Amino acid sequence: MQALTKDDLARLETARMVVSDLVRAQLGDAAASSIDLAVLQTLLDRKVPAPDETYKLQCMGIVFGDLLCARTRFEWRIVDDEYGRDPTLVYSGKAFQFNVLTAISKRVENGEDIDLVDMADWALERAEAGAGAEVH
């Protein structure tokens, strides 16, 4: 695990802008100014982005990660391995890694329904229990 570099932070900011633009186009300016779990859930319920729009879905994963960081002890870190260099969440003081980058995209691509509140609660419960498993 590594701290985020300037380039990593720029990548996250670009993802946030992609989601903000998507929310603005689908739900209007008011929703784009205050993105929360309900806003992201509304997009997913509308099947936006489509299952073949992996990049946009991964951007939603980044914003989902931001929301988790804002309300819990999750923190952004970078995993640099044989698959590439990607942002992930770790839980402060625990051996728990949550790959939010693909948490939404993989499920949407597989045709699964997603409840973001349930996913957030599940991740927090696992993290607080000290689960050491990596979650994708």
Query: Is 29 a domain residue?
Result: yes
pLDDT at 98: 93
Query: Is 58 a domain residue?
Result: yes
Query: Is 47 a domain residue?
Result: yes
Which domain range does residue 64 map to?
6-128
pLDDT tens-digit map of 44-72: 999 999 999 999 999 999 999 999 999 99
Q: Is the peptide bond before 49 cis (omega within 30 degrees of 0)?
A: yes
The domain tally of the chain equals 1
- CATH number, domain of 101, equals 1.20.120.1090
Query: Is 20 a domain residue?
Result: yes
What letters, b where the CB count within 10 A reaches 16 and e where it falls short, cover 33-47?
eebebebbeebbeee
Q: What is the Cα–Cα distance from 85 to 25, expressed in whole angstroms?
A: 30
Q: What is the Cα–Cα distance from 15 to 9, expressed in whole angstroms?
A: 10
Query: Is 1 a domain residue?
Result: no
pLDDT band at 3 (very low <50, low <70, confident <90, very high): very high
pLDDT at 131: 59
Decide which of 129 and 103 is more confident.
103
pLDDT tens-digit map of 71-110: 999 999 999 989 889 999 999 877 789 999 999 999 999 9
Query: Is 72 a domain residue?
Result: yes
